[in-house]
Amino acid sequence: MRQLSIILGLILVSHFTIGQNSPRSIEGKGFKSVFQKLVTGEFNGTVNGLLILKNVNKEETILDFHCNDSKLVIEVDSSAVYDVSTKIYKGKMTGGKIEIEYKTYAAANAFSIKFNDDWYGFSYIDGSCEGNINGLDYEYKIDKSKEYLILHFNSEITLSNYTYLVRAEPNMNPDKVKNLKQREKKVQVLPNSTLIFAIKRL
């Protein structure tokens, strides 16, 4: 069992994160959210914006989020190694076939989307948790009742389903890695995609 955990860990670290010196990574600058120091909780809200996706065939899909349900789920980190909790911003389109998640922990972030029944993602929440996704800008704004998290994609960002394939394998071993790589699929989030989470503070 311990050997299995080590194998899984090495696969996820080597694939889902690229490293601090990668062009896909920039140094994390922290998250100036009013929720940053909370240990646990759940806050409702909405999400608006456009996500422009491109598949392997270079076909583009525009996803229009318009006052769709969203929430911020704050999950405690009992060990509190780098942060007291993970902040998970969740949103979904009507019908639930399209879901998005944006996570922050310490100085690192992650983005993922459920599209055509598969989850695709990219994350720096691993290792030292110091990296941000290069090409994904974020900003927080507040008013009396809400905090707004603005996500803006200023360059193309590739998301992969590989990590989710690994996690779904009940009996992972090195011999299966090549088979999983053959099943890997990718999508790109294109520049000018923008999402705005409006989370109620009260």
pLDDT tens figures, 150-165: 999 999 999 999 989 8
- Checking if the pLDDT of 22 tops 90, the result is no
Per residue in 105-148, pLDDT (tens digit) is 999 999 999 999 999 999 999 878 989 999 999 999 999 999 99
pLDDT bin (cut points 50, 70, 90) of residue 202 is confident
pLDDT of amino acid 174: 65
Long-range contacts of 155-158 (CB under 8 A, 24+ apart): 155/191, 156/54, 156/188, 156/189, 156/190, 156/191, 157/24, 157/111, 157/122, 157/133, 157/188, 157/189, 158/122, 158/186, 158/187, 158/188
Query: Which pLDDT belongs to residue 4?
Result: 40
Which of the four pLDDT bands, split at 50, 70 and 90, describes residue 72?
A: very high
For residue 189, give the nearest of 118, 132, 136, 123 by alpha carbon: 136
> Distance from CA of residue 87 to its chain's centroid?
11
Q: Using H for helix, E for strand and C for coil, what is the string for 47-73?
A: EEEEEEEECCCCCEEEEEEEEEEEEEE
Whole-model pTM? 0.86
Confidence band (pLDDT; 50, 70, 90) for 3? very low
Give the pLDDT score at 24. 75
